[in-house]
Amino acid sequence: MNGCGLQVVLDRKDRIFTWGFGGYGRLGHDENKDELVPRLLKFFDGPNRGAVMIAAGSTFSITVNKLGELTTLPQDVSKRPFCIGWNIEPKNALQ
């Protein structure tokens, strides 16, 4: 997905990689710096944390994980993606 200066990719192992303009935490990493190559978002790399859907915007991105939790990037003040919902059914989300 392309989000105006940033790229967000979901791989076959349900991991998220981001790169591009990293200002304001929009890439989801601990640092607010630009990334020139794809970098794994560690928050989504683990049991039941893999993503099943992503959407990239110009100032933030949205993800849905395997548990149906909806999260946004940039990160909140605790340095974790901000969970804004749950029980999203990815198979029905695009219908």
Alpha carbon distance 80, 24 (integer Å): 13
The predicted-structure confidence for 44-70, as pLDDT tens digits, reads as follows 887 777 888 888 877 778 888 888 888
Q: How far is CA 13 from CA 4, 24, 76, in A?
A: 25, 27, 25
Question: What's the angle, vertex CA 52, arms to CA 37 and CA 29, rounded to 5?
Answer: 35
pTM, rounded to two decimals:
0.73
Alpha carbon distance 30, 92 (integer Å): 32
Which one-letter amino acid corresponds to residue 19? W
The full set of domain ranges for the chain reads 6-86
Q: Is residue 38 predicted with pLDDT exceeding 90? A: yes
Q: Is residue 37 predicted with pLDDT exceeding 80? A: yes
